[in-house]
Amino acid sequence: MIDLYTAATPNGHKVSIALEELGLPYNVHALSFDKKEQKSPAFLKINPNGRIPAIVDRDNDDFAVFESGAILIYLAELSGQLLPQDRKGRSRVLQWLMFQMGGIGPMQGQANVFFRYFPEKLQGAIDRYQHETRRLYEVLDTRLGEAEYLAGDYSIADIASFPWVRIHDWSGVSVEGLEHLQRWIAALEARPAVQRGLLVPRREVDDAKAVKTAQSMLVR
Ligand SMILES: N[C@@H](CCC(=O)N[C@@H](CS)C(=O)NCC(=O)O)C(=O)O
């Protein structure tokens, strides 16, 4: 059994979607950012970075994994699915996974910070992160014009990018003109496991409350 520590955010959804796709049994521990549960001493033993998501594999000596990309790799290897074993196939998945972890996640995350949460309106910062996110979407779009999914077959690379790309409106980034990306978004949205994963955990707060909490978490 896997214990999943999560919240209703893109990085959390990557893992709940993967668990649903892989058919692995799991317990959900929904952490409240409002109560700063992600910074509690007990959780910091699981994830020293004090962020979600994290997992603990109860069937393997309570092995803990943090960082969503590392969790996706761990789960794919545990189940032998969504990550090919041949060197090139595996590398293709890891390239697109790293592209998400090092590119889309941080850039779109900062677009959210400056567009939605930051107390001052810093237009230069908003433009920088929104333009960079759009540029990364264009890279995805070009790739999806050549292949059905990012690494060829459906994989953890798609699962990593989708929860971010789907909230492009929230980040103020358009997907207009990116036909292949739009086709891919629709294909992922239609997958029952993706739909189930997006409902984990049940969202307890509305947008306004989430914005207030995110604002209070900004370290300045
Ligand atoms: N690189 C990390 C990022 C994790 C992350 O930023 N999680 C956010 C939610 S999407 C979080 O826990 N924020 C709460 C906080 O910063 O205290 C990963 O991919 O797992």
- Which residue has a Cα nearest atom 12 of ligand 1? 51
Looking at per-residue confidence, does 97 or 204 come out higher? 97
14 CB near ligand 1 (under 6 Å): no
* Confidence band, pLDDT 50/70/90 cuts, at residue 70: very high
Whole-number Å distance, alpha carbon 38 to ligand 1 midpoint, is 9
Counting from 1 in the atom list of ligand 1, the atom nearest the Cα of 33 is: 14
Residue 211 has pLDDT above 90, yes or no: no
Instruction: Please compute the mean of the pLDDT values over residues 185-195 and round it to a whole number.
Output: 98
Band the pLDDT of 82: cuts 50, 70, 90: very high
63 compared with 204, residue with greater pLDDT: 63
Tokens of 91: 């590398």
Closest residue CA from atom 13 of ligand 1 = 51
Instruction: Give the per-residue pLDDT at 80.
Output: 97
The H or E element containing residue 56 is: strand 54-57
Say what the pLDDT of residue 147 is. Answer: 98
pLDDT given at position 209: 83
Look at residue 220 and tell me whether its pLDDT is greater than 60.
no
Determine the pLDDT at residue 62. 98
3-state helix, strand, coil in the chain (%, to 5): 55, 10, 35
Whether the CB-CB separation of 126 and 115 falls below 8 Å is answered with yes
Helix (H) or strand (E) holding 30: strand 26-30
Q: Closest ligand 1 atom to the C-alpha of 51?
A: 12
pLDDT of the residue at 205 = 79
* For residue 54, pLDDT beyond 60: yes
Cα–Cα separations (whole angstroms), residue 129 to 10, 13, 108, 134: 17, 22, 7, 9
* Ligand 1 geometric centre to CA of 52 (Å): 5
Q: What percent of the chain stands above pLDDT 90?
A: 91
Average pLDDT, the chain: 96
pTM attached to this predicted model: 0.97
Establish whether residue 33 lines the binding site of ligand 1, counting it when its CB lies within 6 angstroms of any ligand atom.
Answer: yes
Q: What is the pLDDT of residues 149-176, one digit of tens each?
A: 999 999 999 999 999 999 999 999 999 9
In the structure, what pLDDT confidence band is assigned to residue 68 with cuts at 50, 70 and 90? very high
**Closest atom of ligand 1 relative to the 67 alpha carbon:** 20
Per-residue pLDDT averaged across 50-71, rounded? Answer: 98
110 CB within 6 A, ligand 1: no
